[in-house]
Structure 1
Amino acid sequence: MAGDFKFIAGCAAGIEGLAGEEITSFGGTGVDVAVGVVGWRGTLETAYRACLWSRYASRVLLEIHSLSIDDGDDLYSQCRNIDWSAHLDNSMTFAVSSTLGKNAVIPHSHYAALRVKDAVVDFFRDTCGDRPNISRDKPDLKIHLHVHENTAQLYIDLGGESLHRRGYRETGGVAPLKETLAAAIVALSGWNSGVSSRTTFLDPMCGSGTLLIEAALLWSDSAPGLSRTYFGFNKWRGHNDVLWTDLVNEAVAVEEKSFAGKWPRIIGYDSDPAVVATARKNIAKAGLEDKIEVHCKDVAFLRPPSDEGFFVSNLPYGERLSEKEEVRFLYNCVGRILRDLFKNWRAGIFISDPDVADQFNIDIESNYRLFNGPISCRLLVGKVISDEAPPFHWQIKDDTEVEEGSDFANRLKKNFKKISNWASNNSISCFRVYDRDLPEYNVAIDIYEKWILVQEYMPPASIDADLAKKRFSNVLSSLRHIFQIRRDRIFLKQRRRQRGKSQYQKREIKIRYHQVREGECYFLVNFQNYLDTGLFLDHRPLRAKIAELANGKRFLNLFGYTGAATVHAAKGGAALTTTVDLSGTYLEWARKNLALNGLSLKRHETIKQDCLSWLREAHGEYDLIYIDPPTFSNTKKKNLVFDVQRSHAELIDRASRLLTEHGVILFSTNYKGFKMDRQILTDFVLGDISKETIPFDFQRNRSIHSCWKIIKKR
């Protein structure tokens, strides 16, 4: 078998070019690249090198016969006449696989494989009276048949099983990348053996560590097949063991030399401790535990470990529609982190949705279409763009052109100058600038970065409807003039007493979120679809307090709404969080907020259930519990009625049973007539922290909420 043979290497669609370059480097000639396959001619050594060194090929097949057939019986007859003793004997095990090409004369691949198997078995029965056995799991010899039209090609599968099985992976994470695809992602991202040891390779969502391991193997020029203990040629009768041993020794020498030198930092992060443990096991099995480091960390806390490097990751895809939306917000977070922190880094981002490519702040140099199994994906490669647009600042028009409603206009300008200076000094971009300061202008006006929300309160019956309408028109015209703002950046809501289903009713228009920042957190707000925006501005100081208290703590958020408090707790360093709310809409919103901040649901659980019902059955311990219930809610579908005055005592008592010894409950309510239950005053130590949790921009309305810090009596 020392002559010139025909070989085929199978590979994933999209990486044939890489596989073809490898085959040429192994000494193959007449290299022919097609979709998913690379053909060549060469010696047995070229095929052995492919089995040992190829990072991208999944199969290496040696063609042994090409037959012209009419049907299955003809296939059997011709295969029966082949001298199979040149390849195996009756003491060995074997298996047959098959694939069918276009217009194959045999319609079923299983039937075609069966006819070849029968031919091999009958050959040995006729020639030596005994037959080799079939083994589907790592047979001594694997025969592969491909039928195209009336041509049947027979191959020996020299790998025996897919070459992506390097031998280092004990188990993958959720939908792990095949090693061959991972190697292609790493290589196409620009990482190679020539990269300086001062350069870092970073995977922020490393899963089972496949990209990290392939990056290490590529940089060190280590043969990926060295860890394999099984090849399909090991017992093949044409096998040249001396040649194979020489090639293995050569590969070991190359690896030993590279391992002795200085290495770059290869770092992976994942939010799931179990997945991190799996990655570490795989890395150790690959013999790279002192070359690769893996840490349990959310994307939210990602920081560049060096001035330059490669940011390469297979980001999650999302299966269901809601998950896909969450993933988009995660992509937004990754892009923001790249822009803000990873200047001068190169990036290789592997995603399934090409429509979100612009979220990553990458100057895309290459956009590769690759396939992760059946999923069509994109690999975006380029340099991180660090240029950021200047921060938005309001420029108000300070003149006297407004005539009608001039009292309102003057008050609004005065408020804005005072409050915006305070907000700027405290890095606050969302704040209230007017709150029914003048009785005849019964509105609240909130600034949400570059958007303005106007909330009109229903006038009393004594006010003429036309007059109220005229005053509201004055409000809008004054706003547009003073802030020089387009109509599409002003949003209107009408506040009225909500009853029954109306308190949760959504306006039937397309849901659209706007992104705003609060401290180190980012939130999605909605100005059109719901009564509230998703971010209560008066609770801003309380959320900041939660962030301060949450570091290292287990945090429970009851009536979690859109998860703003949960995000602050998580960004503040909470060990884990649990958010409970009966509304699936709010919890979906909360998950989007978590994703927008790079916080994984692995450690931040959301539970759709009535809070009191959940507390009656809940177990576990929490160090910090936040309770911000509605004043009143009525859920007819579940026959649930909640009244904060009537239910708060049970709510606090049951929540306290989940508190650790030194745990804290923060209880807040917007009900102006609220009175704390006497039993709670008796059984717990309460501190009224309302004053310190009312922000400067709400000082005109100090009764907007009340808040207590509650701890158990010792």
Structure 2
Amino acid sequence: MPSDTAQPLQWFFACPQFIEPLLADELTALGAEQVKIGHAGVQASGDLRFGYTTMLWSRLASRATLQLAQGYGKDQAELQTLIHSIPWDQHVHPDGTLKVRFFGRNDDIRNTQFGAQWVKDQIGDQFRSSHGERPSVSDNPDIVVAVNLHKGNASIGIELNQQSLHQRGYHDPDAHYPLRENLATAALIRAGWPVLLASDAAHLTLFDPLGAPSTFLIEGALMALDIAPGLLRGRTVTSRWLGHDATLWETLRDAARQRQAAGLERASRYTFSAAGNPAALLNLRTDWQAAGLLPSLLLPAPLGREGLGKEEENGATGLAITHLPYDETTTNVALQPIYTALGEQLASLPPGFHAAIFTDAKAPIALTNLFYSKEYRLLNGETECKLYTFDKLEQKERAANLFAEDLANRIKKNLRKLKPFIKRGDSNAYRVYDADIPEYAIAVDRYADWLHVQEYAPPKTIDEKVAQQRLEQALMTLPEVLEVRPDHIVLKQRKQQKGRNQYEKQGRAEQSLTVTEHGVKLKVNLIDYLDTGLFLDHRPMRRWMQQHAAGKSVLNLFCYTGAVSIHAAVGGAKRVDSVDMSATYLDWAEDNFHLNGLALEPYKYRFIQANAVEWLERCRSRYDLIFLDPPTFSNSKRMEDVFDVQRDHVELIRNCMRILEQDGVLVFSNNFRRFKLDLMIEADYQVQDYRIQSLPEDFQRDPKIHGCWLIRHR
């Protein structure tokens, strides 16, 4: 690398997506001669001083790459030419270490891992031919080589930041923080904090109403006190790069320390304050001290009109900014207390304040009851988020009535019909409402003291906003009429599913609860999957299995979470085999056995992970009772053939009858509403239509919820 630090160089500074314009402005202010906005980053030209200055002072960049070559790279030959055009011995010693980061693909390289290995070998070949030895690979290398391919073009560079530039050093490296430092800074810039800092206001306050994470307040303080992020990091520049200018780097760091000292002398102009739970405030204080900030600058106390000092009551100026939590598995009615309280708190701030809220793009920001001025799209990891800014903190007038009287009356009517069932205590998991009123197109199931609410996708003829308003009205009504806590309501949208899509995981909450049914304990999960692990409409048939299983050998095909198997075991079955393709649900079934104190004796209770159709064809055991409840349709990647219950049920039933004892019973059920049992089955076997008997009290409105037949040998 030439020693002339004033030589023009090309750089690429990476950043989170959607903040590229802010980074371009920052780079220009730091001395870039020219900038060009790209995807998740900005290209810039400037000498080594500019590059070092940016790595020291940038609050928005994630990585700094010195571009060494750009050109064609549509195949290996073109990329090889570009790699060999670079004098690598000017950047790393022949006996040094390197690491390659490879992005994209071309006609020949379709895998990034292979691409990184191939580039490393090309660099090594150049060294071996000229020096007789080559650098080795290391996780702590002298240099990191970055190769990017895009639409036939390639760029090759060296990442000169030794540590990611978004890191400042005050966060616990082993802890999870929901917001990166440079993204928090971008939110502060969009919210107008730098504008306030440049104003002639005598005193400024930065306030976080929730106090977690600590990132907003600390980044705001670093900006206010003119503290370079690079001073906080233990490692910033790749000092083992052969082009590194240690004198220049230390000169820039000394200048940054002088600016920090001057900034701290102006610290009395600022107040940084937070409210929140004790744990959040404790984490804030810990991170604040780790950032080297004066403890006296942080006031972990609520801030409102009453919380301001007398000297600030007139003309108090500041910014309130916070990260508002959101979980898409939580209903709006459960979120409302948090959002409403935040809105009221912000509206109580002095007139000289404005505010910003960073949250998930799906979050119901309207529940804050505030008028937002602007919204900005941001990306937090892979999650799309928004920043809402509020120039005026004024609350809207609330709707007069959010209680749906007609919905409440219908649910009360349903409960009166179910009173004998509820009084018997057969189960504490049952359906209380199923789109009885077209305007409220939801199904409501009670699981102990929780509600599982499924929203049916509205017809295209219904305006989306109207449907959303009715849903929110319903969710406001349910806690009162059913006497449940608002945060014990789980909402999901129900769409037509194929095969076992309804079983696929929706989230990662890993929360479950236990319900009871005819003396059996069953584990359900209302959050992580579209279905809960328990089909409520099969309750009578599970009871039937329990009553008829004593001393019998039982087979449960497509067993799901094993509820039928549990009932059979509790009913005294001598053997129960449960077959399903999903290891997750077989584990769940085992959990259900443990819940009921059933020892998992391998010869008495078997859990078989297999394609039930294929396993059945190979089965040579015989059973007294078989429960068969296949999916309507399945094209799982683990199945060789597509399964269609209407097309395939004849063969499936015959295979079951082959292994059914002469006096045994096959319980065949499915939930395909247009299903028709083939006449050949009725001709070959004794078939009893059991649909009416299998329908529980809470599903009488929907007799087509499933079909059920008892099939015996003639």
Name the CA shift for 1:125/1:206 in 2 (closer, same or farther; >3 Å): farther
Q: Which residue of 1 aligns with 2:63?
A: 59
Q: CA RMSD in A?
A: 4.2
1:373 Cα deviation (Å)? 1.1
Q: Which residue of 1 is the match for residue 368 of structure 2? A: 360
Shift of 1:263: 3.9
The runs of 5 or more residues in structure 1 that have no matched partner are 393-448, 454-486, 514-522, 535-560, 563-585, 592-604, 614-635, 640-714
Distance 1:528 1:151 in 2: 58
1:345 aligns with 2:353: yes
**Residues 118 and 590 (structure 1 numbering): CA distance in 2 closer, same or farther, change over 3 Å?**
closer
1:45 equivalenced with 2:54 (yes/no)? no
- 1:252 alignment counterpart: 257
Q: 1:142 aligns with which of 141, 144, 149?
A: 144
Residues 589, 295 of structure 1: alpha-carbon distance in 2 compared, 3 angstrom cutoff = farther
Instruction: Using structure 2 for the length normalisation, give the TM-score.
Output: 0.55
Q: 2:330 aligns with which of 315, 322, 325?
A: 322
Letter in 1 for 2:488: E
Structure 1: which amino acid aligns with 2:129? D
Instruction: Say if 2:330 and 2:489, in contact at 8 Å, map to a contact too.
Output: no
Taking the aligned partners of 1:303 and 1:490, their CA distance within structure 2 comes to 46
2:146, 2:159 within 8 Å by CA — same for their partners in 1?
A: yes
* Corresponding position of 2:239: 234
Shift of 1:201: 1.0
Asked if the contact 1:343/1:386 (under 8 Å) is kept, the reply is no
* Partner SS for 2:319: strand
Q: Is the 8 A contact 2:60 2:182 kept in 1?
A: yes
**Which residue pairs with 2:277 in the alignment?**
271
Identity among equivalent positions (%) equals 24
Out of 309, 334, 340, which is 2:318 matched to?
309
Note if contact 1:13-1:36 (Cα within 8 Å) is conserved in structure 2.
Answer: yes
Residue equivalent to 1:501 = 422
Distance 1:303 1:389, change over 3 A: farther
Q: 1:214, CA displacement in angstroms?
A: 0.5
2:208 corresponding residue in structure 1 = 203
The correspondence for 1:184, drawn from 169, 186, 202, is: 186
- 1:30 corresponds to 2:34: yes
Name the residue aligned to 1:107.
110
In structure 2, the CA distance between the partners of 1:452 and 1:147, relative to structure 1 (3 Å rule), is: closer
Aligned partners of 1:385, 1:133: CA distance in 2, in Å? 59
Structure-2 change in CA distance of 1:78 and 1:288 (3 Å) = same
Return the offset for 1:252: 0.8
- In structure 2, distance between residues paired with 1:317 and 1:87: 47
Map Cα deviations across residues 662-698 of structure 1 (whole Å, 9 max, x no partner). Answer: xxxxxxxxxxxxxxxxxxxxxxxxxxxxxxxxxxxxx
SS across alignment from 2:372: strand
Q: Residue 68 of structure 1 aligns with which residue? A: 72
Matching residue within 24, 43, 50 for 1:20: 24
Q: Closer, same or farther in 2 for the Cα pair 1:390/1:21, shift >3 Å?
A: closer
Q: Secondary structure at the match of 2:22?
A: helix
1:507–1:530: 8 Å Cα contact kept in structure 2? Answer: no
The counterpart of 2:14, out of the listed 10, 20, 25, is 10
Deviation by residue 1:279-302 (Cα, 9 ceiling, x = unmatched)? 3332212101425537499x9999
- The letter of the residue matching 1:339 is A
Conservation of the 8 A alpha-carbon contact between 2:93 and 2:135: yes
SS at match of 1:321: coil
Q: Which runs of 4+ in 1 moved over 4 A?
A: 172-175, 294-297, 299-308, 340-344, 387-392, 449-453, 487-497, 502-505, 523-531, 605-610, 636-639
Residues 640-651 of structure 1 aligned to structure 2 (within 5 Å): none
State which of 114, 119, 129 in structure 2 corresponds to 1:116. 119
Shift of 1:142: 1.1
Q: Deviations over 1:367-420 (max 9, x none)?
A: 11111011111101122433564998xxxxxxxxxxxxxxxxxxxxxxxxxxxx
The separation in 1 between residues aligned to 2:274 and 2:104, in whole angstroms, is 41
CA contact (8 A) 1:279 1:294 kept: no
Instruction: Provide TM-score, normalisation by structure 1.
Output: 0.55
1:532 Cα deviation (Å)?
3.7
Superposition deviation, residue 527 in structure 1 = 8.5
Match of 1:373 among 369, 381, 386: 381
Structure 2: any 5+ residue segments left out of the alignment?
Answer: 445-450, 452-471, 492-510, 520-542, 544-562, 568-714
Q: Which of 153, 160, 163 is residue 162 of structure 2 equivalent to?
A: 160
2:209/2:342 contact within 8 Å kept: no
Q: Distance in 2 between matches of 1:82 and 1:308?
A: 54
Q: Is the 1:15–1:370 contact (alpha carbons within 8 Å) kept by the matching residues of 2?
A: yes
Q: How many aligned residue pairs are there?
A: 451
- More deviation, 364-373/168-177: 168-177
Q: Are the aligned partners of 1:10 and 1:36 in contact in 2 as well (CA < 8 Å)?
A: yes
Q: How does 1:375-454 map to 2 (within 5 A)?
A: 375-386=383-394, 389=397
In structure 2, the residue matched to 1:335 is 343
- Cα 1:381–1:32 change in 2 (3 A) is same
1:189-220 per-residue CA deviation (whole Å, 9 max, x = no partner) reads: 11123254622211123334111110101111
Taking structure 1 as reference, are residues 172 and 221 closer, same or farther at Cα in structure 2, changes over 3 Å only?
A: farther
Match of 2:488 in 1: 588
Instruction: Quickly say closer, same or farther: Cα 1:324–1:246, change in 2 above 3 A.
Output: farther
| Cα distance, 1:232–1:391 mapped onto 2, change above 3 Å | closer
1-structure distance, mates of 2:304, 2:335: 14
Change (3 A) 1:96 1:13: same
CA contact (8 A) 1:142 1:232 kept: no
